[in-house]
A and B are shown apart, each in its own frame.
Chain A
């Protein structure tokens, strides 16, 4: 709520306070910017996205440039993070891993968003039989042991980015579906929705233009938290050889091969693991901040 002083309409010089209802988004932004941790997270995430997009230009070397004269080197002037077993520059590989991580998150979350929000919206709005069936399907999907399902999918579709998008997307839409459904259920009996119905708006119109904008908040929060989740799944898959295909690096493969070198060339594990942790943390802080900001209370 923003307070403003306004002159009284009568002839006196008195003023009264008029309270304007603040916009939903305005209020959310204000709450968010007051949370320092969230702002740090947001800034970091922005930097990460920029680094990922411009990686081909920023990276000092190609991620697959081999150099036998410089294998297993520690951090130095020419290689800030050191080199790996083939003399490839670790910093460049990490930049590309960042690209891969964000791409994987983007791809997987697109699927999650598409499937989850459609399922949730229809189930919530229509109710009845449609709701029942869709929720049962969601339950079945939820019951699938996701790790096993990912592994089976990779075996079927072969390794590669698209497979990972699909695998992660397919196993994570259930949370979003339930969330959207709960929101839609709560919102569909609000007055402005009734008004819209009375005016003759179609179902899809009502869902898209009246209800969805209000559900965006929780959806955005889920998407923010989905990035670290997707990265974790990709790293677990890489560990058993079902992640992104080498020589394209990903944090999963960097960490999986790096942990063998912990005693001999620790930089090969420490740098990727620390960067991985930093990225996860930033997204988590961002997600936390967003969730607190969208919280309708206080």
Chain B
């Protein structure tokens, strides 16, 4: 009997131990959502001013390439401290001088002349010249450069002849509107007049690449030891998937306080912050409660809104059910964003009433459809599905490694309770998920997929340039099938294809979609900022009322920052990361 009782005793002991550990942690009572922590005001500079020295350590996303011609999340790292463009973002995300000291344009804002400073140098001592920028911009525009991945050039920058060259209509790259007039003057010609063009040159794709290095090492030019940079830091080491170290660039013309930056690339780990191994870390919903209860940590928590939107996009389906605007609007209006965000997100997300975020527009909540269950129920009934009767089971396609984002599950639950409809959450593996988003799905599968969108550049117009366009998302199932055929047919010549696709969209645009496009054209031509904003507001209202895209939530940047880190300003367009590494200094 001894061994039996021993075995049972051991098993019971394990269970009891589990009970003790699980149940005895203090403060597990029902709680209201925590009060949101405030954004810190920028502290007044200490009497002695910024100190130099120290290495700043934090987590960043995992880049796959440091070549500005490739789009990856790593491109942001090139912009943040390795490379410097003609223009940089100031604290208000407006264009400030960087390599270019000043710039001017002609009357209709189509030709821009940038005067470069004479003291900018590469890390190997070479001077930074306008020819470097001509080379780099043309290199990025040339699709052959990024044939190994997704290119970073943003077509909506509208450099003259760039799109035509990329589509193959023009064969000579020298016809593209980028020209170095002399060593220190760069002239850029645009296809359309754009008063705010310069800020586009602060983006990762507009970063320069050192010609001699690229030509010498080819694809290996991004490796530490080969990499030549013109920014405040140089690349010291890079272990893929693990970490990257930057060290101060002695040849940089401007101010740098830090000796170096160490970036970890694995998943953010709050424990590393608490053990003083990193100086800044992002915090997830699971840790917020306990941080707020900790007297020290709660002081170090900051929160800032960002412009990254999670939304539901219409699935391309042969089933016409989503083509009824009443159904779409009912769905958009029938879940309580505020309640969900508070209970589930706990401060890590903000409610999204519109596809234009509050960080760019004060009228964001105004233009959205809002939350009105009674109206939503009526719309559903009008569409023929009173209380959800007769409504087929919808599919919501997501792709999460672990559990589905609880905010999304909460929305699904609200739909079930308020509208009486059933939703199947299809959590597919990423490759399959991306395929399902593009292809036309059969009748049995209709509904939405989720996506997170970031703006390409900090500005109101970024939320209209190609994102959430009803001309794209309003295409009905059958039309999409044809569109897809046009896109993938290998027999169509490249130069013809673009025009065919464009024509197709125009021919199949609904009246509202056409109206939307006209509004955007009008806004693009408007030079008065206030008037332009009014037009965008109208366009946003129209777009949100069509509900092809249902906004759910905006990501908040919630971070723990050590008190000795100074100079941090969250970049609302990049999940709250610092704008530039050389803004930061350590007070210790």
Contacts and interface: CB of A to CB of B under 8 A. Distances in A.
Chains A and B directly touch (beta carbon < 8 Å): yes
B32 to A, nearest CB: 10
B189 to A, nearest CB: 46
A165 B284 CA distance: 34
Contact of B409 (A66, A76, A285): A66
Interface of A: 36-37, 39-40, 44, 66, 68-76, 81-82, 85-86, 154-155, 158-159, 238, 240-242, 245-247, 253, 256-257, 260-261, 263-267, 270-271, 274, 277-278, 281, 285
A68 B402 contact: no
A72 B15 CA distance: 21
B22 A246 contact: no
B172 interface: no
Contact of A75 (B3, B23, B425): B23
23 contacts: A40-B8, A66-B410, A68-B410, A74-B25, A76-B28, A85-B286, A86-B344, A158-B428, A158-B432, A159-B428, A238-B402, A240-B401, A241-B429, A245-B426, A246-B402, A253-B403, A257-B403, A260-B284, A264-B290, A265-B286, A267-B21, A277-B14, A281-B11
A256 B430 CA distance: 18
Contacts of B401: 240-241
Q: Which 7 A-B pairs have the closest CB atoms?
A: A74-B28, A241-B401, A267-B22, A36-B4, A274-B18, A68-B343, A66-B413
Nearest to B3: A36
Interface string B280-303: 000011110110000000000000
Q: Choose among A66, A256, A266 the residue with the greatest number of B CB atoms under 10 Å from its CB.
A: A66
Interface in B401-453: 401-404, 406, 409-410, 413, 425-432
A264 B432 CA distance: 34
Contact of A85 (B25, B271, B285, B428): B285
Contacts of B11: 40, 44, 278, 281
B429 A158 contact: yes
B340 interface: yes
A133 to B, nearest CB: 35
Given A36-B3, A37-B4, A82-B22, 11 more contacts: A36-B7, A40-B7, A85-B286, A154-B429, A158-B432, A245-B427, A247-B425, A256-B402, A265-B286, A270-B22, A278-B15
A246 B406 CA distance: 11
B25 to A, nearest CB: 6
B450 to A, nearest CB: 14
Contacts of B8: 40
B429 A69 contact: no
A264 B22 contact: no
Contact of B7 (A74, A76, A265, A285): A285
A286 B502 CA distance: 68
A39 B4 contact: yes
A264 B287 contact: yes
A259 to B, nearest CB: 10
B25 A266 contact: yes
Contacts of A155: 429, 431
Contacts of B7: 36-37, 40, 285
Contacts of A72: 289
Q: Choose among A39, A75, A85, A241 the residue with the greatest number of B CB atoms under 10 Å from its CB.
A: A85
A203 to B, nearest CB: 44
B14 A274 contact: yes
B348 to A, nearest CB: 11
Contact of B406 (A85, A159, A260, A277): A85
A36 B14 CA distance: 18
B525 interface: no
Contact of A73 (B28, B270, B428): B28
Contacts of B339: 68
Q: Choose among B8, B21, B28, B429 the residue with the greatest number of A CB atoms under 10 Å from its CB.
A: B429
B485 interface: no
A19 to B, nearest CB: 29
Nearest to B336: A68
Contacts of A66: 409-410, 413
B255 interface: no
Contact of B30 (A40, A73, A240): A73
A247 B416 CA distance: 15
A216 B401 CA distance: 40
A246 B403 contact: yes
A86 B406 contact: yes
A241 B287 contact: no
Contacts of A267: 21-23, 25, 28
A131 B490 CA distance: 50
B468 to A, nearest CB: 27
B61 to A, nearest CB: 18
Contacts of B23: 74-75, 267
A265 B346 CA distance: 14
